[in-house]
Structures are given as C-alpha cells and as structure tokens.
Amino acid sequence: MTAIPDTPAGGFRLPRLGRLRGIANAALGIAALMLLWWLGGLAVANDPDLFAFADFAPAPTLAALQDIVTSGEVWQMSGPSLYRVGYGMGIAAAIGVPVGIAIGRIPFLREITNVPFQFLRMISPLSWMPIAVMAYDTWDGAIVFLIAVAAIWPILFSTAAGVRRIDPSWLKVARNLGANPFHMLFVVILPAIAVDILTGLRLALGVAWVVLVPAEYLGVTSGLGYAINDARDTLDYSRLAAVVAVIGVIGFALDWLCMLAIKKFNWVRDTAH
C-alpha cells in the first residue's frame, strides 16, 4: 500500500508563488515611481520657469549617484550618519526598554508617568535643538541627543504594551517553579516581549532616520545631512537629489533588517496562538 503524502503535490509551490508575486508587485511599484519621476523631470525640463530644477530629473540624478558610489563618497557620507543613529538608538534602547518594562509591570508607576510621558512624546525632537547645542560641547553630542530623544518613545511605549500583554499564567507558572526576579526577567519577560521591543526599535529607527538629516544641518562637516546642505549651497542639484536617493535606500535597508529580526523572533506570538 502506498502511503499518502503529508504534503499535497505542488504544496511547496504556493509559498514560492506568493514570494514571486510579492517581488513582482514591488517591482511594479518601483517602476511606477520611476515613471512618475521621469514624467516630472520631463515637465520641469519643458517649463522655462522651472528649468533650474531640471537636475532633479532621473538622468542627472542617476549620473551623480553613480559618481558618489564609484568614488566611495557614499561611504564617507553615510558612515558618520549611521554612527550617530546607532549611538542615539543605543541610548534610547538602554533607557526605553527598562523603563518600559517597569511601567508595564507596575500599575502605580504607569499611572503617574502616563501624562508626563505623553506630554514629552508630543514635543518635536527638533524643538530641543537650541537646548542641545547649549548643553553639549560637540555638535555630534547634540545630534546624538536629538536622535535619542526622538527614538526613546516608540521603544518605551511598545515595550510597556508588550509587558502588559504577557499571559499571566506564564508568570504564575514561573513563580511556582521558583523563578527569582532575575530568571523572571530574562527567561520569561524578555523573550515574551522580544517582538514588541523589536517593533518599537523599528518605529524608533524610522523616526530617528527622519530627524537625522535636519539635525546634521548643525555645525558638523560630515554625514548625509551635511552633504545635502553642501550640495544646496553649491547649487549642485543633481548631487543633492542623489544624496536624497541614498538616504531613502539606506533607510529602506535598515527597515528591512528590522523586519527580518521581527519575523525571526515572532515565535512567541505563534506559540501563544
């Protein structure tokens, strides 16, 4: 007797087809964006009043992008920016995760911090720029501070929400098995909220990346924001557009890496369901 296979014939094709469809849809979206960009450049080139913006069209922008990539300038621009974002995100995570766990676990602490935290969250990070400039001896320190202020709130609130969603039975079982506070934190709580922390980091990274460029308009002489400012001052608009494209590509890549991490640590949600 022939055994009936667990997986139907062609069963592995559906996920593959789904991935191919996703890639095709993404390619279609990119093609539509490029078409709109090309049409916009064509309209600008044919309008005498807007001819100064002709360098923002695809052809000069891609030529400038090729120059900064082949010359290695792209790494000189992006390296300092990535360092500042990483430093600011590290500070935000070091503060936001412990505080988020605390307010998620302690109702009294959550009640007394809710209004102050919500108030501070709604203040634009760039509003702190004059204070940051006065408080720090270096421009880099001021920029890192602004990035940390921008990034801390998504991390803090996402972590707190994850703690509040933990199944109480998990904590009860851990206590019954004699778990001390150390084991409770590192064996139960942190694995249970890993996805929430990563989601908060993803949201925070998006905010930090947006804040980075105007923050780098401060007195620094390196970074992507400085490169945009320099291209504007020298009227090199094709280079300006190329740097904008680099910012978009790097931001997309960082978000994609965050998504991969979220999928990898999504086992808790799958187990809970």
Give the CATH number for residue 85. 1.10.3720.10
Measured over all CA atoms, what is the biggest interatomic distance in the chain, rounded to whole angstroms? 82
Let me know if 71 is exposed, middle or buried by CB neighbors in 10 A (0-12, 13-18, 19+). exposed
How far is it, in rounded angstroms, from Cα 238 to Cα 66? Answer: 11
Residue in 162, 178, 183 with CA at minimum distance from that of residue 269: 162
How far is it, in rounded angstroms, from Cα 152 to Cα 169? Answer: 30
pLDDT in tens, the chain (273 residues): 455 554 555 444 556 777 787 788 878 888 887 788 777 776 766 666 666 677 777 888 888 999 999 998 999 999 999 999 999 999 999 999 999 999 999 999 999 999 999 999 999 999 999 999 899 888 899 999 999 999 999 999 999 999 999 888 888 888 888 778 888 888 888 888 999 999 999 999 999 999 999 999 877 888 999 999 988 888 888 899 899 999 999 999 999 999 998 988 776 555 544
The model carries a pTM of 0.82
Residues spanned by the domain of 217? 73-272
Q: For residue 57, is it within any domain?
A: no
Tally the domains of the chain: 1
DSSP for 68-129, written as a single string:
HHHTTHHHHHHHHHHHHHHHHHHHHHHHHHHHHHHHHH-HHHHHHHHHHHHHHHTS-GGGGH
Q: For residue 125, is it within any domain?
A: yes
Q: For residue 249, is it within any domain?
A: yes
Do residues 242 and 58 lie in contact, with contact meaning Cβ atoms separated by under 8 Å?
no
Q: For residue 80, is it within any domain?
A: yes
Let me know if 72 is exposed, middle or buried by CB neighbors in 10 A (0-12, 13-18, 19+). exposed
Do residues 238 and 61 lie in contact, with contact meaning Cβ atoms separated by under 8 Å?
yes
Cα 114 to the center of its chain, rounded Å: 24
